[in-house]
Structure 1
Amino acid sequence: MKYRTIGSAPDRRREVSVLALGTMLFGSVTDEKTSFAVLDRYVEAGGTFVDTSDNYAFWTDDGQGGQSEELLGRWRRSRGVGDEIVIATKLGARPLAPGTGYVDNAEGLSAKVIRESAERSRERLGVDRLDLLYAHIEDHAVPLEETVTGFADLVAEGTVGLLGVSNHAVWRVERARSLAAAAGLPGYEVLQYEHSYLRSRTDVPGDLFPDGSLAAAGPDLLGYLRAEPALTLVAYSPLLKGTYARPERPLLPGYDHPGTPARLAALREVARDTGATVNQVVLAWQLGGEPPVIPLVGVSSVAQLEENLAAVDLELTTEQRGRLDEAH
């Protein structure tokens, strides 16, 4: 395993593995025995960066979520896991009532919700301090100043370490960070967005962003990260839900456009050259890119995890990376 540092403050920055493990369906679709086996193997391989959310996986039972955090809490206790494993969670997108959704009835990012939701996450995870806490989705009803202060208060109290943001417009991220800096408060340092080798359109509606504007990390976000090297990008859905490994699957709507075939062809050529799988090439491309990315992989078996772990040691040549980057 390889590692990198996230965060900049000496008392809060953490060293994490360059491959993060997503646990969205652990404790719900993925049963406890399998979830524990995947987590155990990930840690055995040197993995130290686990991702969850307070709303995972509300859609599996028309509930409000919490299953993933609860499973991680049981796993931590049964294995004696301490602060050597960095667990990131999110708040803001938990449905306010069972049977509702995060788009039209989310808990939001008020100071009250931030405090209460973080406390519930600590209880489910069985920790005194959340290593990394994300603002999961935008809340247009609450002033950014309130959200910024709400998160910063938890850091000051010692119940949260690093702060992150997911699925927000770049201008809102910068506005929030500027407000925090002006007030001398900690701000967002880790950004989590959908990001993969295939380029996504920005005009395809989705559940979370009806105008398609935030379907995936685009040029604006990547340019922002290059200008702010202290920030870290964590990429969710790096393998596009099996798209690369299963050619018979229809492309996700945002990735079905004229530029995709050339990218797929280049990807398959490089996979043949290296003897690696297409999934491994995608992950290696992210890990060695500029800016570097921490892929957040979601798996449902130890075998899938093993394939992803092997990507950490796959080094693409300059020529191979050029072929991948230049395909249109």
Structure 2
Amino acid sequence: MKYRTIGTDPATRREVSILALGAMLFGSVTDEKTSFAVLDHFVEAGGTFIDTSDNYAYWVDGGLGGQSERLLGKWRRSRGVGDEIVIATKVGAEPLAPGTGYVDNAEGLSAKAVREAAERSRERLGVDRLDLLYAHIEDRTVPLGETVEAFGELTAEGTVGLLGASNHAVWRVERARALAAAAGLPGYEVLQYQHSHLRPRFDIPSPLFEDGSLGHAGPEMLSYLRAEPGLTLVAYSPLLAGAYTRPDKPLPQDYDHPGTPARLAVLREVAAETGAGINQVVLAWQIGSRLPVIPLAGASSMAQLKENLAAVDLELTDDQRARLDAVH
């Protein structure tokens, strides 16, 4: 396994595995036995970074979520897992009532909502401190300063370590970090966005945001990472839910544009040259990026996890990486 340090403050920064394990469907679609087996093998392979959210997976049973956090808490207790494993979670997108969702009825990012959600997450996970807490989605009904102060209070109390933001417009991330700095509070240091080798369109309306495909790490986000070396990008859905390799998983409409076939072609070329799978090439491309990127990949079976883990040791040549980077 390879590792990367996230965060800059010696009191909160952590060294984590360069590959993060997504636990979104653990305890719901993926049963407990399989979830525990995947988690155990991930840790045995040197994995130390696991990702969840308070609202995972509310859409499975029409509830409020919490299944993933509860399963991770049970796994932690049964295995005696301590601070050596970093579990990141998120607040802000848990539905307020069964049968609703984050689009129309999310808990939001008010000071009250952030504190109460963080307390529920700590209880489900069975921890005194959340290693990394993200603001899951934007809440433009609440002043940014209120959210920044709410996160800052939790870190000051010692119940939260690192802070992060997911699915926010870049300008709002920067404004929140500026507000935190001006107030002497910790700011967002880990950013979680959808990012893969294929490049999305940004002219498709989102059900939640007016900015188009806001959840994607587009050129502006990647430029921001270059300018701010203290930030880390955790790239979710790097394998596009199987769309690279499974005929039954069509590419999302975000990738329906003339540039996609060329990028798929070079992926296939590099996969053939290395003897690796396309998914492994995508993960290796991210892991070896000049930017601080940590791919976040879920696994619903041991076979999927082992395939993903093998990408950690896949070394792409400079020529292969240049070809992967150059295709538009």
Instruction: Report the TM range for the smaller structure's normalisation.
Output: over 0.9
TM-score (norm 1): 0.98
Instruction: Give per-residue Cα distances to partners, 1:73-115, cap 9 Å, x unaligned.
Output: 0000000000100000000000011110101110000011111
Distance 1:200 1:167, change over 3 A: same
For 2:152, the aligned partner's letter is: A
State whether residues 166 and 192 of structure 1, in contact with CA within 8 Å, keep that contact through their aligned partners in structure 2. Answer: yes
> What displacement does 1:250 show?
2.0
> What displacement does 1:249 show?
3.3
> What displacement does 1:290 show?
2.4
Q: Does residue 1:101 correspond to 2:101, yes or no?
A: yes
**1-structure distance, mates of 2:149, 2:248:** 48
User: Sequence identity of aligned pairs in percent?
Assistant: 79
SS state of the match for residue 139, structure 2?
coil
> What displacement does 1:210 show?
5.4
**1-structure distance, mates of 2:188, 2:263:** 32
State whether residues 202 and 215 of structure 1, in contact with CA within 8 Å, keep that contact through their aligned partners in structure 2. Answer: no
Which residue in 2 is equivalent to 1:289? Answer: 289
**1-structure distance, mates of 2:61, 2:208:** 19
Which residue in 2 is equivalent to 1:307? Answer: 307
**2-structure distance, mates of 1:285, 1:30:** 28
State whether residues 284 and 315 of structure 1, in contact with CA within 8 Å, keep that contact through their aligned partners in structure 2. Answer: yes
In the alignment, structure 2 segments of 5+ residues that lack a partner are none
For 1:74, the aligned partner's letter is: K
Which residue in 2 is equivalent to 1:218? Answer: 218
Which residue in 2 is equivalent to 1:316? Answer: 316
For 1:162, the aligned partner's letter is: L
SS state of the match for residue 163, structure 1?
strand
Which residue in 1 is equivalent to 2:23? Answer: 23
State whether residues 20 and 294 of structure 2, in contact with CA within 8 Å, keep that contact through their aligned partners in structure 1. Answer: yes
For 1:324, the aligned partner's letter is: L
**1-structure distance, mates of 2:152, 2:282:** 35
Which residue in 1 is equivalent to 2:250? Answer: 250
Instruction: Give per-residue Cα distances to partners, 1:271-290, cap 9 Å, x unaligned.
Output: 00000000000001011112
Distance 1:21 1:208, change over 3 A: farther
For 1:106, the aligned partner's letter is: A
**What are the equivalent positions in structure 2 for 1:167-178 lying under 5 Å apart?**
167-178=167-178
> What displacement does 1:245 show?
1.3
**1-structure distance, mates of 2:292, 2:157:** 32
**1-structure distance, mates of 2:247, 2:198:** 14
> What displacement does 1:326 show?
1.3
SS state of the match for residue 216, structure 1?
coil
State whether residues 95 and 102 of structure 2, in contact with CA within 8 Å, keep that contact through their aligned partners in structure 1. Answer: yes
Which residue in 2 is equivalent to 1:192? Answer: 192
The CA RMSD over aligned residues, in Å, is 0.9
Q: How many residues of Structure 1 are paired with residues of Structure 2 in the alignment?
A: 328
**2-structure distance, mates of 1:126, 1:245:** 37
> What displacement does 1:247 show?
4.4
**1-structure distance, mates of 2:61, 2:71:** 16
